[in-house]
């Protein structure tokens, strides 16, 4: 028996390395899938939170009696008391919570709570307000934190003396929301001795202790269920204050409690991608090589620290320096969001390098190739440049001009990096019964990325079975544990555990075959539902016949994470965008986006392509539409719904093309979640400039900003 299994060569795979539909697709498109929001239990009550709308205020009075008089209301409790100072717009805004027999009664009760405030405090919702002289402290420790200087700014200035071109510019990115279609929340069924929690979470196994602590139960008395969920993007790792309150209500009432945030509350308190202000100064030589770069970065994460990686981002520059800090505002803390900090860094770095290239009259693709250290990036740039038609494009060293109809067309580029890989903590059980039924089980959650299907597919590949022959069980903390889904670790942790479990199950079955077919363990081939001795095609048995050798006892084996099966390391990627710009109205239309990323084994080509497409769409939405809007004078959140907070829809979707990297020879598994979302908006910004000379240094790329940039160019 081999202690360490290996992935098959890609050419020998029959299910993996092909494209196949997700197992849960029919349930989702028909509405059969039951999300946490859909859970309905006997005696269930519906809870709602009562939030105020001021970022900083004093609660002067709170009257709960009108809410208690609403028919069907069973609980109304204060979260804050008169005299409390409310510090920031977010979960600190919760002043009360209610529970009722119906959702309608709970909503009426929340509206009936009477709260009065003194809002004479400055709002403190913008960077400028927090940095103004005499500004009050948001965190109690000043409005900046985490300051860090790296490198020597003076050395950068000296290096720039010999540069052919020097540019200094400021780039700004707004706060972006996760916009999970399923809002945050849970259903907690607590009977005083144990609890079952239906959670919208990215960490089924990791949520058990948190629920147990809030319920005052031992962890082995808590079960967490997440059979399906409607998106997380990094925002759903903890149960949150909404989860703690849900537990509190369940303890008070000893009834199942359904508490899901409504959409305005989701926008106000469920976290976000931090905003960023970046000032950059740097230069290139005549060949386009970066000779020096300085970056000053303010991370805008509300009461949190924000996220931003080291600069220079992706590109090499021997003489560089950076000054970074967090600037706090009276807003809810940022949370991890798909590639935390990287889309912000990408926009600043890719825009800046583009500006340098065009200022020097150089091809921006060639400038990128000169400044990357990995040949993988050069290969990827060639792939997307060829696919997007860069060599035939007339604007390769200078921006174009609009035609007689006012439209201009351009192409832009951006690169991506991410360190993907699994980690210990994921286990899988494979159970095979004498009648041939195969079940693969792991507590892992499927955020919509296809993990459920993978749980079945790797087992099916190993045993030579069709995908439909394996039942996948996931999303249940009573199953073998899994890691949380974040940082592109899910596939990297899960796939090796599945491979190990499948390999052990196959070898255990082969032990039963030794006295029957005579070959030793490891000398069998499992193909199309049959088993044969390798090289002896006439000695075959069906999978069902092999399972019958188990007698009356099922076979159960476990597998765990094995790092030798995981492509732990840096991922590379390149994306290109082609846009049309109406220079008369400022309208931007994205026509085409092309992406290539190295990915190790394409475990499911269809799902992998979908994941990369999703990243491009999310980046496009970030670039063209998304922006958290606040009234700077009053501090009110103005974009707390999906009418005023815009996200991309079918009308904005361009042609999307994914070119899988067939030259990535790593025969190992890895994830593909973060990298595709990083460079798309940067490529679009660069394409806008390439089209008409309008340099957009702030997101989103709205018509007014396009027109302003055109006026600046003129």
pLDDT of residue 2 exceeding 70: no
Whether residue 208 contacts residue 477, with contact meaning beta carbons closer than 8 Å, is answered with yes
pLDDT band at 626 (very low <50, low <70, confident <90, very high): very high
End-to-end distance of the chain based on CA atoms, in angstroms? 73
Taking the C-alpha atoms of residue 14 and residue 528, their distance in angstroms, rounded to an integer, is 9
Q: How confident is the model at residue 600 (pLDDT cuts 50, 70, 90)?
A: very high
pLDDT tens, position by position, 257-281 = 999 999 999 999 999 999 999 999 9
Mean pLDDT value of segment 297-302: 98
3-state secondary structure (DSSP) of residue 376:
helix
pLDDT in tens, 206-222: 999 999 999 999 999 99
Summarised one tens digit per residue, pLDDT across range 522-568 is 999 999 999 999 988 777 899 999 999 999 999 999 999 999 999 98
Burial 642-653 (b: 16+ CB within 10 A, else e): eeebbbbeeebe
Place of tokens 């009562």: 50
d(CA 621, CA 626): 6
Dihedral Cα 314, 320, 326, 331, nearest 10 deg: -40
d(CA 347, CA 354): 10
Task: Provide the 10 A C-beta neighbour count for residue 407.
Answer: 16
Surface-to-core class of residue 335, CB atoms within 10 Å of its CB (0-12 exposed, 13-18 middle, 19+ buried): buried
> In 3-state terms, the chain is what percent helix, strand and coil (to 5)?
30, 25, 45
- Residue ranges per domain, the chain? 10-33+422-565, 36-121+184-260, 275-421+567-713
Give the chain's mean pLDDT. 96
Residue with tokens 């693969």: 440
* pLDDT over 60 (residue 417): yes
Answer yes or no: same fold for 10-33+422-565 and 275-421+567-713. yes
CATH number belonging to the domain at 10-33+422-565, selected among 3.30.420.40, 3.30.365.10, 3.90.105.20, 3.30.530.20: 3.30.365.10
The answer, yes or no, to whether residue 122 has pLDDT greater than 90, is no
Which CATH number, 3.30.56.10, 3.30.9.10, 3.90.1170.50, 3.40.50.300, labels domain 36-121+184-260? 3.90.1170.50
Q: In what order do the strands lie in the sheet with 555-560?
A: 470-473, 438-441, 427-432, 555-560
Could you tell me the pLDDT band of residue 86, with boundaries at 50, 70 and 90? very high
- pLDDT, one tens digit per residue, over 94-120 is 999 999 999 999 999 999 999 999 977
C-alpha span between 583 and 688 (Å, rounded): 10
| C-alpha atoms less than 13 angstroms from C-alpha of 508 in its C-beta half-sphere | 19
Q: Which residues are 415's β-sheet partners? A: 574
Distance separating alpha carbons of residues 669 and 493, to the nearest angstrom: 9
In this predicted structure, the answer to whether residue 1 has a pLDDT above a threshold of 60 is no
DSSP state letter for 10: G
The pLDDT of 159-168, averaged and rounded, is 97
Percent of the chain with pLDDT over 90: 96
Structure tokens at 77: 């409790």
Q: How many CB atoms lie within 10 A of CB 318?
A: 11
pLDDT of residue 393: 98
Residue 498 is encoded by which pair of tokens? 């599945």
Looking at residue 539, its pLDDT comes to: 73
Q: Are strands 438-441 and 470-473 parallel, antiparallel or unpaired?
A: parallel
Residue 339's H or E segment, with its range, is none
Backbone angles phi, psi at 307, to 5 degrees: -140, 140
CA distance 538 to 378: 50
Q: Where do runs of H (alpha helix) occur along 464-565?
A: 490-517, 543-548
Query: Quick one: fold of 275-421+567-713?
Result: Aldehyde Oxidoreductase; domain 4 (3.30.365)
Instruction: Please say whether the beta carbons of 230 and 180 come within 8 A.
Output: yes
Given pLDDT bands bounded at 50, 70 and 90, which one contains residue 140? confident
């Amino acid at each position: 028996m081999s202690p360490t299994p290996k992935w098959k060569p890609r050419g020998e795979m029959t299910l993996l390395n092909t494209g196949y539909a997700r197992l849960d697709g029919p349930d989702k498109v028909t509405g059969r899938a039951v999300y946490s929001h859909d859970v309905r239990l006997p005696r269930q009550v519906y809870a709602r939170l009562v939030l105020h709308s001021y970022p900083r205020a004093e609660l002067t009075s709170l009257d709960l009696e009108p809410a208690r008089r609403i028919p069907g209301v069973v609980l109304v409790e204060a979260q804050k008391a008169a005299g409390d100072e409310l510090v920031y717009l977010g979960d600190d805004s919760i002043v009360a919570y209610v529970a009722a027999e119906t959702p309608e009664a709970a909503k009426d009760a929340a509206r009936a709570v009477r709260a009065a405030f003194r809002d004479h405090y400055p709002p403190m919702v913008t960077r400028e307000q927090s940095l103004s002289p005499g500004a009050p402290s948001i965190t109690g420790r000043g409005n900046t934190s985490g300051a860090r200087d790296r490198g020597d700014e003076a050395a950068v200035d000296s290096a720039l003396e010999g540069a052919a071109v020097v540019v200094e510019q400021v780039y700004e990115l707004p706060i972006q929301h996760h916009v999970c279609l399923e809002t945050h929340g849970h259903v907690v069924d607590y009977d005083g001795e144990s609890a079952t929690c239906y959670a919208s979470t990215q960490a089924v196994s990791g949520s058990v202790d948190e629920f147990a602590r809030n319920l005052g139960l031992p962890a082995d008395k808590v079960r967490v269920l997440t059979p399906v969920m409607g998106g997380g993007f990094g925002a759903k790792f903890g149960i949150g204050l909404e989860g703690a309150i849900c537990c509190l209500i369940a303890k008070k009432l000893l009834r199942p409690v359904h508490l899901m945030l409504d959409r305005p509350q989701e926008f106000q308190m469920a976290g976000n991608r931090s905003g960023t202000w970046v000032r950059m100064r740097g230069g290139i030589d005549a060949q386009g090589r970066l000779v020096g770069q300085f970056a000053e970065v303010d991370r805008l994460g509300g009461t949190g620290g924000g996220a931003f990686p080291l600069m220079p981002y992706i590109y090499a520059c021997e003489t560089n320096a950076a000054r970074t800090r967090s600037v706090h505002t009276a807003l809810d803390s940022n949370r991890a969001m798909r590639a935390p900090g990287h889309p912000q860094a990408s926009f600043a770095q890719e825009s800046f390098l583009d500006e340098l290239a065009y200022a020097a009259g150089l091809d921006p693709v060639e400038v990128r190739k000169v400044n990357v250290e990995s040949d993988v990036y050069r290969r990827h740039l060639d792939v997307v440049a060829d696919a997007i038609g860069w060599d035939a494009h007339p604007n390769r060293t200078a921006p174009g001009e609009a035609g007689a109809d006012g439209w201009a067309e351009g192409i832009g580029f951006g690169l991506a990096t991410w360190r993907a890989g699994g980690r210990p903590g994921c286990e899988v059980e494979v159970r095979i019964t004498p009648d041939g039924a195969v079940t693969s089980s792991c507590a892992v959650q499927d955020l919509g990325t296809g993990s459920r299907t993978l749980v079945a597919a790797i087992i099916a590949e190993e045993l030579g079975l069709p995908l439909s022959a394996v039942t996948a069980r996931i999303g249940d903390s009573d199953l073998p544990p899994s890691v949380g889904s974040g940082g592109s670790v899910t596939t990297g942790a899960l796939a090796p555990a599945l491979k190990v479990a499948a390999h052990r199950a196959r070898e255990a079955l082969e032990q039963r075959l030794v006295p029957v077919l005579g070959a030793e363990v490891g000398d069998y081939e499992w193909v199309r539902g049959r088993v044969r001795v390798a090289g002896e095609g006439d000695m075959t048995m069906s999978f069902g016949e092999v399972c019958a050798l188990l007698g009356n006892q099922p076979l159960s084996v476990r597998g765990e994470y094995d790092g030798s099966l995981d492509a732990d390391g840096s991922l590379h990627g390149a994306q290109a965008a082609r846009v049309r710009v109406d220079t008369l109205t400022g309208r931007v239309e994205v026509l085409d986006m092309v992406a290539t990323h190295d990915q190790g084994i394409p475990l499911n080509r269809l799902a992998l392509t979908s994941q990369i497409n999703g990243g491009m769409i999310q980046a496009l939405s970030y670039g063209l539409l998304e922006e958290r809007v606040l009234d700077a004078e009053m501090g009110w959140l103005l974009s707390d719904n999906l009418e005023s907070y815009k996200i991309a829809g079918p009308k904005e979707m361009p042609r999307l093309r994914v070119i899988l990297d067939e030259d990535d020879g790593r025969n190992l598994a890895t994830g593909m979640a973060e990298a595709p979302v990083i460079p798309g908006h940067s490529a679009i910004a660069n394409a806008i400039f390439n089209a008409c000379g309008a340099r957009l240094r702030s997101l989103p790329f709205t018509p007014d900003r396009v027109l302003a940039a055109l006026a600046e160019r003129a």
